[in-house]
Chains A and B, each alone.
Chain A
Amino acid sequence: MAPKKPEPKKEAVKAFPEPEAAKEPDFDPHSIKIEFSADQIEEFKEAFQLFDRTPENQMKITYSQCGDVMRALGQNPTNAEVHRVLGRPKAEDMDSKLVDFETFLPMLQHVAQSKDQGTFEDFVEGLRVFDKEGNGTVMGAELRHVLATLGERMTEVEVDQLMGGQEDGNGCINYEAFVKHIMAG
């Protein structure tokens, strides 16, 4: 069965841009109350330090690493959310500007409080969209295409890494198993 052609979707994409950027105001770190426990904060510090690559070990990470550290700590923000809590920095600042732990903590708190975490069920629902035959499988090729062209696009290498070994002989993926595979990481 031929995959859907992308053309009809393109218009749709233009009509429905990602909601966050338009609606939400700028992130104000001072408005955030830290609700993490002292133990949790110590653990976050460890993760922070693990990613610190400054030559003097200043306990700082780059803007571009913030998303990674948050994710390493179990949060699940979109790139857009990360960009917002960082104060919408310019592209050229992402690798050069640094964030210290005190600045990072409210960002992490905010992200942790986000309602839009995406549960296992949400995830499966999302994949079900691609399940044409309603039989619990999606076409690997279609999924790859979607992930590389829609939303917060992934590179081909990333898509390969994600989907490597998941497709069966027919190029199909059982998406419940796929989801378990992702969540287990």
Chain B
Amino acid sequence: MGCGVTKSDQFHRQGKAVTTIKAAVLIQRWYRQYVARTEMRRRYTWHIFQSIEYSGEQAQIKLYNFLGYLMDNFTPSSNERNLISHIFRENEVCRDAEWERYFCYKNIEVPELYSGPHLTFPLTVEQATGLVEAFRDKRQLHSRYVLQLLLETWKLLRMLPNISRVSTCHSKEITICGDLHGQMEDLLLIFYKNGMPSLEKPYVFNGDFVDRGKDSIEILLILFSFLLLYPSELHLNRGNHEDHIVNLRYGFTREVLTKYKMHGKRILKLLQKIFSWLPLATVIDQKVLVLHGGISDCTDLSVLARVDRHNYVSALRPPKKRHQSAAGMSVDSDVDDEVWASNKLNQRRVSLTFPKPLGTRESFQNRSLQDFSNRVKVPVEEELEIRRRQAGLSGLFNSGFSSSQKNLNLSVSSDLSQESTDTNDVAKEEWKQILDLLWSDPMSQDGCVPNEVRGGGCYWGPDVTEDFLNRHNLQLIIRSHECKQDGYEFCHNRKVLTLFSASNYYDVGSNRGAYVKLGPDLVPYVVQYQASNMTRELTVRQSVGRTERSALKVLREQLFAHKSDLICAFQEFDNENKGLVSLNDWATALESVMHLGLPWRMLRSQLTCKTSDGMLDYQDWLNELAIKEPNMDHIDQSLLETLYRHRSTLETIFRIVDTDNSGFITMEDFRQTWKLLSVYLKMEITDEAISDLAVTIDKNQDGSIDIHEFMEAFRLTDKKSRLERGRSMFMGTTPDLVKLEGDPNI
């Protein structure tokens, strides 16, 4: 840079400047393209996870509906009925008075070797904070203390009302947290950022503390200890996952049984009771309602305040009815035949479908009104006719026809007293209120329609919110239940706030978590966070890439599971039988089978299909997705596919059948389970095929099947990504249970 600037110098510099600007603009353009493409990938990855998650929930509810229906319609004498009955009742015959004895912890000894925390009751603050630290250091609480803590919690919860009423007077700010789903790291992060619960620091935890993540029991123990310490400052709302039947599928049951080999079952039983006693909602300053799922057009807080909430042990089962046993003792049992059958009939009319996807659905964001008329308005006579036919056709079950017909009789017969009909109606209404509260989701359109995607609760619109808030003189609903990118989302003119506190829920980098602080002005102040050091080190592009790979893997598994259906759909487009379809037809066929509302054309390049002249060889493509387990060759392909598709359900049932939690079931039980499933799936599965399958899995030929081995056989063998995979959507597995083999004394 000399001082004598000649004209040619200046000219030269101007030329260089233009080039520089052009270069800058070029780089900037490319950068913006790269950002836009990353954003697009992020969005469709999200769609994939969410669609698959919800359809999994739906599948489970369908299964239970089906099993319940079988319960209604077949005689007590058949073996199959015993199995189903077992699934629902789980030997629940204890009387109230006996429970405390069953849960007694006093004779459980804590060995000297035990290095975890010791608890004494009543708890102190030091013990509670000590517990948090111990869990952070990956130590485990001894089952004696677990049971003791849970018992104290149970006693306390029984005294709490259905709806907690809280006030922000004394200038207190209340902190509200959403779903945690076993992700203790997030809870620790919240406590770190916001402080632990105390007299000055009230908290509301809005349900779904358990399932999916690997530290569900630790989260519960932390929350319960603070509850015992500060019962007026710490508030818990029940979520749809505080439900032992849901837990069977989504990992909590497995977690507890693995961590507590000796006393796990007892702990789970006690938790079942505790879950049913969790309050349903919290109201702050009489203006802000906090509940887990949402509302419907029927939701009535005065009804909810009155219900016997502990009767609703699981939202997937009918309410328990208290009646006099022969010995004159008060016994809790399921509301049986007379009341139950008609109850169930009405409930299930909307959801009684066999596992066929629900017709074409728009892209996931479009929750347009579904047409239910063909399903909802089936007249009773028609319904009975259908069941008679089904009862008659099934060769596997003895149809105790006359007794089932009696059960199906809806009109007030001489068998039903007036009183039990009233009970029936009330029970029905209450059950719906609770189901709606725990399972509903908001939608953008006005109105209120059943939530077919999840299989329970409703979709409710802004008009319903408006009406509800006015009727109850409220100004805001805070709910959780749905994972949100930013950890929170307002809707319905900012009258509904969704709050989700499990960051990286679908995979590392997928979303942030959030909590809300509410002061006397009742203006929500949102704080976001994202747990895990890993996230911070990854660039946006890297974390999107990881999540995307996860999602695509899950999606490929889904596609493989529907291979036969896909081939049929492709063949319809392939008139000349060349084994080729156009890309457009490929996308159309995929959506018609999968019903996930995904942008298939955009995903095409990721699902690796090579094309020539714009045509795709679909057989080739599907073979690429195949399971590569060599010793499965002699098993029928379609059976394999079915197994694969329903492996979550299969595992759930296996675990129920495995009553002593040994991880093994007998061949006989295995066959029984298969027979059940084959009816459910309307598939011909011969005894021979089942035996072949069992023999293959029963490697040591000892007549029992290792559940874990069985399920392992049906993963796609792609070892590297199996390790990478953060969380399996289907299995609800927690692959990092490695550490839990730890202390045998616990």
Contact = CB atoms under 8 A, between A and B. Distances in A.
Interface of A: 4-5, 8-9, 12-13, 15-16, 18, 38-39, 42-43, 46-47, 49-52, 55-57, 67-72, 74-79, 118, 122-123, 125-127, 129-130, 143, 146-147, 150-154, 158, 161-162, 164-165, 182-183, 185
B308 to A, nearest CB: 39
A24 to B, nearest CB: 16
Nearest to A125: B23
A132 B35 CA distance: 29
Contacts of A123: 26-27, 30
Which 6 A/B pairs are nearest by Cβ-Cβ distance?
A: A126-B23, A185-B34, A12-B17, A71-B36, A46-B599, A151-B24
Given A18-B25, A126-B22, 19 more contacts: A4-B1, A9-B13, A12-B18, A47-B602, A50-B599, A50-B602, A52-B365, A57-B362, A57-B363, A68-B32, A68-B36, A71-B33, A126-B24, A127-B27, A130-B23, A146-B23, A147-B31, A150-B20, A151-B25
Contacts of B165: none
A165 B539 CA distance: 9
Contacts of A39: 582-584, 601, 614
Contacts of A16: 14, 17-18, 21
A127 B27 CA distance: 8
B444 A50 contact: no
Contacts of B16: 129
B366 interface: yes
Contact of B36 (A38, A43, A67): A67
Contacts of A5: 1
A69 to B, nearest CB: 7
B19 interface: yes
Contacts of B23: 125-127, 129-130, 146
Contacts of B43: 50-51
A162 B31 contact: yes
A107 B444 CA distance: 29
Contacts of B17: 9, 12-13, 16
Contacts of B540: 161
B19 A47 contact: no
A72 B39 contact: yes
A57 B30 contact: no
Contacts of A75: 33
Contacts of A70: 36
Nearest to B539: A164
Contacts of B599: 46-47, 49-50
B699 to A, nearest CB: 45
A165 to B, nearest CB: 7
A5 B30 CA distance: 26
Contact of A126 (B19, B36, B44): B19
A69 B32 CA distance: 11
B14 A50 contact: no
A75 B47 CA distance: 24
B363 to A, nearest CB: 6
A118 B44 contact: no
Nearest to B368: A57
Contact of A9 (B20, B38, B602): B20
Q: Interface of chain B, helix or strand or loop or mixed?
A: helix
A154 B587 contact: no
B620 to A, nearest CB: 20
A183 B30 contact: yes
A137 to B, nearest CB: 15
B37 interface: yes
A158 B31 contact: yes
B28 A152 contact: yes
A104 to B, nearest CB: 14
Contacts of B18: 12, 16
A6 B573 CA distance: 63
B43 to A, nearest CB: 5
A146 B28 CA distance: 10
B445 interface: yes
B36 to A, nearest CB: 3
A75 B539 CA distance: 23
A71 B30 CA distance: 9
B317 interface: no
B29 interface: yes
Contacts of B301: none
A12 B602 contact: no
B91 to A, nearest CB: 49
A93 to B, nearest CB: 20
Nearest to B597: A49
Contact of A42 (B13, B31, B33, B587): B587
A152 B33 CA distance: 13
Nearest to A70: B36
A118 B583 contact: no
A185 B37 contact: yes
Contacts of B13: 8-9, 12
A43 B601 contact: yes
Contact of A71 (B14, B37, B614): B37
B32 A12 contact: no
A124 to B, nearest CB: 10
B40 interface: yes
A153 B29 CA distance: 10
A85 to B, nearest CB: 15
B647 interface: no
Contacts of A78: 25, 28-29
